[in-house]
Amino acid sequence: MRFTVSDYTTSWQRLEVGIVTGCTISVILFSAAMNLLVKTAEKMSRGPITISGVRQPPTRAFMDDMAITAKSVPEGRWMLEDLERLISWSMMKFKHTKSRSLVLKKGKVQDRFRFRINGQRECDKMRQQCDDWMKAVDKSGLPGKYKAWIYQHGVLPRLQWPLLVYDVPISTVEAMERALSGYIRGWLGVSRSFSSIGLYSSGSKLQLPLSSVTEEFKVTKARQVMMLRDSSDEKVSGAQVEVNTGRKWRADKAVSDAEARLKHNDIVGTTTMGRLGLGCVTRASWKAAALSERRKMVQQEVRSAEEEARQATAVSMKKQGSWLKWEGVQARKVSWNDMMRMDQHRIGFLLRSVYDVLPTPTTCGLGI
């Protein structure tokens, strides 16, 4: 492209990325290039046919947004491969974070098929993006406690949305948590053998203000199951959408178990412990609770079940689970304000002393 002003003509300018601000010709050229890509991709599929017999177009586009439809999964993959080739030829690329796919068969969603863009799936992209975030935080040069704060309030909230949208198996989430815990251990000044129970437990003698990715994933999926099942829209509640989380842990079974435990608590009633009198302990009733309150109760019960699993794991640990034998010791809940006032080395010393992993002559020979 070149411009002429009065008697002066500029040299040719190469347009590579984006639309030139204020240039009316750039919009026309971009639309023409996108139309070329869309029309070329239509050769791979004729589009699906509706019940009325009308054939739908295989591609729809508006500026840089594009949607493709195909009669079968192979045709959809062929179209994606052809579009990837054309996009690479035009020196553009797809945005993985904005790409979505859906397979329907006789009006029902099929979860057996997965589509890739540039050889990547949603789970792989999410894990890679999470690793890039943690590496950027690790190289920031901030003290370890500030890095842990960024994880809790920056990285973890950004992971909750893709964990809710995509069908991520629980094994993938557990692998992500192992990688995240490795960064957090280094930031807090503890060894790699330090158990994740000391980082995320809410029932131990020392409780940190950190949340587990696995726990948040289970709570998120449980909330999704209840939102779809108890929706006020009959079409949504009657669709019986299944939330897939892999074979190791099922969200619908976790919700049913939590509801059964809450109903059993209503039958047992309110119990007292120690010298507390009648009526000193109150709790919400499942039978009298509203729909929104029931959702919160089920989510809290899912968290309690995850904490019970941590306690069971801590029992089998001879050294790092020795705090379970302490009697009459009041639990200490460390807030973010407390951590910010502490010295960096004091946080690591506090964790190692409570979970008995200090480098003493006794523990050095145990390989902890």
Q: What is the pLDDT of residues 297-351, one digit of tens each?
A: 999 999 999 999 999 999 988 888 888 888 888 889 999 999 999 998 899 999 9
Q: Please, which pLDDT band fits residue 239 given cuts at 50, 70 and 90?
A: confident
On whether both 103 and 134 belong to a single domain, the answer is no
Task: Tally the C-alpha atoms within 13 A of residue 266's C-alpha that lie toward its C-beta.
Answer: 12
Q: Residues, the chain, total?
A: 368
Q: Is the pLDDT of residue 367 over 60?
A: no
The highest-confidence range among 52-61, 232-241, 274-283, by mean pLDDT, is 232-241
Least confident of 90-94, 292-296, 316-320, 340-344: 90-94
pLDDT tens for 7-54 read 888 888 776 666 666 777 777 777 777 777 777 777 666 777 777 777
CA angle 139, 140, 146 (to 5 degrees): 115
Residues sharing a CB contact under 8 Å with residue 61, sequence separation 6 or more, in sequence order = 34, 35, 38, 67
Percent of the chain predicted with pLDDT > 70: 90
CA–CA separation, 335 vs 229, rounded Å? 36
Percent of the chain predicted with pLDDT > 90: 31
User: What does the radius of gyration of the chain's CA atoms come to, in whole angstroms?
Assistant: 28
Residues sharing a CB contact under 8 Å with residue 226, sequence separation 6 or more, in sequence order = 255, 294, 295, 298
Does residue 35 lie in a domain region? Answer: yes
On whether both 180 and 302 belong to a single domain, the answer is yes
CATH number at residue 16: 3.30.70
What one-letter code names the amino acid at 190? V
Higher-scoring residue by pLDDT: 230, 15: 230
Residue 89 CA to chain centroid, in angstroms? 34
Least confident of 174-178, 212-216, 287-291: 287-291
Q: Domain limits at 87? A: 4-109
The highest-confidence range among 4-8, 98-102, 294-298, by mean pLDDT, is 294-298
Counting the structural domains of the chain, the total is: 2
For residues 131-158, average pLDDT:
93
Whether the full predicted model's pTM is greater than 0.85, yes or no, is no
Does residue 9 lie in a domain region? Answer: yes
On whether both 89 and 34 belong to a single domain, the answer is yes
Higher-scoring residue by pLDDT: 307, 91: 307
Higher-scoring residue by pLDDT: 214, 104: 214
**Residue where a domain stops, chosen among 47, 81, 109:** 109
On whether both 194 and 145 belong to a single domain, the answer is yes
**Residue where a domain stops, chosen among 74, 109, 144:** 109
Q: Give the three-class secondary structure for 17.
A: coil
Q: Is the pLDDT of residue 363 over 70?
A: no
Does residue 349 lie in a domain region? Answer: no
Q: Give the three-class secondary structure for 38.
A: helix
On whether both 315 and 245 belong to a single domain, the answer is yes
Least confident of 38-42, 178-182, 256-260: 38-42
pLDDT tens for 266-286 read 888 777 777 777 767 777 888
Q: What is the pLDDT of residue 19?
A: 62
CA–CA separation, 109 vs 117, rounded Å? 20
Extended strands (E) in 203-302: 206-207
Q: What is the pLDDT of residue 187?
A: 94
Least confident of 27-31, 151-155, 217-221: 27-31
Q: Phi/psi zone of residue 2: left (φ > 0), alpha (ψ -120 to 50 degrees), beta?
A: beta
Does residue 243 lie in a domain region? Answer: yes
CA–CA separation, 133 vs 172, rounded Å? 17
